[in-house]
């Protein structure tokens, strides 16, 4: 089942990447101009850009050439280098959980409406490990993993958990913002 979920996540990520590439292809500016780019678009969305006026940012599948600042969620099985804060939260009597609070100033592409309401990703590993980073801003090479969270009194939900990679080193950037 876990392998099946991983393969499904990779298939979805590949399809999104392919649709993104198909949207810009090798045409560059001519494709953007042919699609009717808005003349009132921000400067960053003109002259060969792939962005266009529209909605989005609510967690739906991103569609190239339909929105200005595309926003996405991390993909299961993919690796990232993320910047944010480590937060420890008590989840019951003497039960603590570590979370990574994403820095949207560094990663605006992750600022979907849903993620802005809850900018926290659960962190894999013992709480004793994460205590050393409590209240600190860090740069962390990690792998996103899809998991099912079962919280007391709530329905199970799908979430992305972050696992530090063995190849990278977590760098402390100072106090949390």
Residue with tokens 């205590």: 131
**Nearest Cα to 86, choosing from 40, 146, 36, 127?**
127
Confidence of residue 153 (pLDDT cuts 50, 70, 90): confident
Note the pLDDT of residue 30.
36
**Nearest Cα to 27, choosing from 52, 49, 42, 3?**
49
At 39, which helix (H) or strand (E)? Answer: none
Residue 88 has pLDDT above 90, yes or no: yes
Mind listing the pLDDT tens digit for each residue in 46-87?
455 455 444 444 555 555 555 555 788 999 999 999 999 999
- Residue 137's DSSP bridge partners are 85, 174
* Average pLDDT in the chain: 75
What's the Cα-to-Cα distance from 135 to each of 20, 82, 88, 130, rounded to whole Å? 36, 16, 8, 10
Given a contact cutoff of 8 angstroms between Cβ atoms, the answer to whether 52 and 69 are in contact is no
Residue with tokens 């560059």: 28
Note the pLDDT of residue 142.
94
DSSP output for 150-168: --TTS--EEEEEEEE-SSS
Residue 6 has pLDDT above 90, yes or no: no
Given a contact cutoff of 8 angstroms between Cβ atoms, the answer to whether 159 and 68 are in contact is no
Tokens of 146: 């899809």
Beta-carbon contacts of residue 123 (< 8 Å; ≥ 6 apart)? 86, 98, 99, 100, 130, 161, 162, 163
């Amino acid at each position: 089942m876990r392998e099946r979920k991983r393969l499904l996540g990779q298939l979805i990520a590949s399809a999104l990447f392919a649709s993104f590439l198909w949207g810009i292809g090798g045409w560059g500016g001519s494709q953007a101009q042919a699609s009717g780019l808005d003349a009132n678009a921000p400067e960053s969305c003109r002259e060969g850009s792939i962005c266009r006026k529209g909605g989005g940012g609510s967690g739906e599948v991103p569609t190239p050439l339909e929105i200005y600042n595309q926003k996405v969620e991390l993909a299961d099985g993919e690796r990232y280098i993320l910047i944010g804060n480590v937060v420890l939260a008590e989840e019951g009597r003497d039960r603590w959980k570590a979370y990574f609070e994403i820095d949207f100033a560094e990663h605006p592409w992750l600022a979907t409406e849903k993620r802005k309401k809850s900018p926290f990703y659960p962190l894999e590993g013992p709480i004793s490990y994460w205590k050393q980073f409590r209240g600190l801003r860090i740069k962390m090479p990690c792998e996103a993993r899809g998991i099912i969270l079962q919280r007391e009194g709530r329905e199970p939900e799908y979430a992305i958990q972050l696992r530090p990679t063995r190849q990278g080193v977590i760098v402390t950037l100072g106090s949390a913002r």
